[in-house]
A and B are shown apart, each in its own frame.
Chain A
């Protein structure tokens, strides 16, 4: 009796909370969980005129086709390579930049550099795609500069290997400013007395950086790096889609652009869904593994 009244009183008190979270739950259910049933399309041979429920069931045919399709290996390798390079560069460059920026004494200069440097983050890849195509084109300003120095013009967006280089460098150019702020904040959180102690022991500025600053940054770097593991198959659809062209399909195609081209534009929705399902499954495993690692080693808690 006592228990029953307690739980109903508790429910009455908690009902407002449940009601408050209801809109979010409904939104998630409708827009995120319900569409997951569409994954079934990966196992059917979807024909638009037959509709979703009447299309024939083919089981693993599309997944099998995906693994035997000759370009698949190349595409997966591209994705992995470009994503790894991006993650590595996007970790190293902001740290170096934050370390250098930390040495600046004039506050005005420091602030203006920070502002200028995180400006590109706010441009979308659609806009940047247009800008980069203009600047890096054959007669664009960069190639004119190269010709002026005496080097041959480089086909940045048309030559396979240069394309990968362009993709990674432009992504770093766009994002390093924002990450620098995170690391700068971490740097200001380091205990000043550690530096003073090191100075008393006779450490030069460089040694101080190596032995005080970097070890203090290691937890932040570890967490960021580990969590990026889940990102290994996300090589940036936005960017590559806006920059690529048939000349660079072999080196520049990533899983997402491949799915877009072969799947959506050719109308093979089932195949596209199958590849997407594969990518999501792998990413899921990696994300869970990454979170576990960050939990164990980096003290990162979700809730």
Chain B
């Protein structure tokens, strides 16, 4: 199905390079931050860290993990995620199940959900579920 012309092979090569570059670009800031986090504080402050730790030290991690406030907020985040997901799934699935069956009042309930959604947030066409209300 693909003509293996010389033009197409050039395009393929160029395409591969471009896609790899973009993919790397997406992950580069994270690598940089990871490298800074593992560097010694003097090197980090002096902006000398690029993509590999300078003066390896895990001291930042040790201090963060020993901080009770951080641990507390980590716990809170976990609680929120777990409880939030469970609760929202229970409510959503039950409502979805009911709305999927034809019965009296289905139209009313559908509009009930829909109007609140239209007034409060915007519709999510790309289904990514990000909350930007």
Contact = CB atoms under 8 A, between A and B. Distances in A.
Contact of B116 (A32, A121, A226, A237): A32
A182 interface: yes
A21 B94 contact: yes
Contact of A227 (B25, B113, B116, B125): B125
Contacts of A117: 22-23, 26
A21 B98 CA distance: 6
A297 interface: no
Most buried by A among B3, B36, B123, B128: B123
Interface string B84-104: 000000111011011101011
Contacts of A28: 112-113, 116
Contacts of B3: 199, 204-205
Contact of B132 (A10, A36, A135, A237): A237
A27 interface: yes
Contacts of A302: 110, 114
A266 interface: no
B62 interface: no
B69 interface: no
Contacts of B15: 100, 103-104
Given A113-B23, A120-B26, A100 B98 contact: no
A258 interface: no
B112 A25 contact: yes
A178 B125 CA distance: 12
Interface string B51-88: 00000000000000000000000000000000000000
A21 B95 contact: yes
Most interface-central of B8, B18, B91, B125 (chain A CB within 10 A): B125
A224 interface: yes
Contacts of A175: 128, 130
Contact of B23 (A112, A224, A236, A284): A112
Contact of A139 (B47, B95, B109): B47
A135 B28 CA distance: 10
Interface of B: 1-3, 8, 11-12, 15-16, 18-20, 22-27, 29-30, 32-33, 36, 47, 50, 90-92, 94-95, 97-99, 101, 103-105, 109-110, 112-114, 116, 118-120, 122-123, 125-128, 130, 132-133
22 contacts: A14-B104, A17-B101, A17-B103, A20-B94, A21-B95, A21-B98, A21-B99, A21-B109, A32-B116, A97-B22, A100-B15, A100-B19, A116-B24, A140-B47, A141-B32, A175-B130, A179-B128, A182-B126, A223-B125, A227-B123, A231-B122, A303-B110
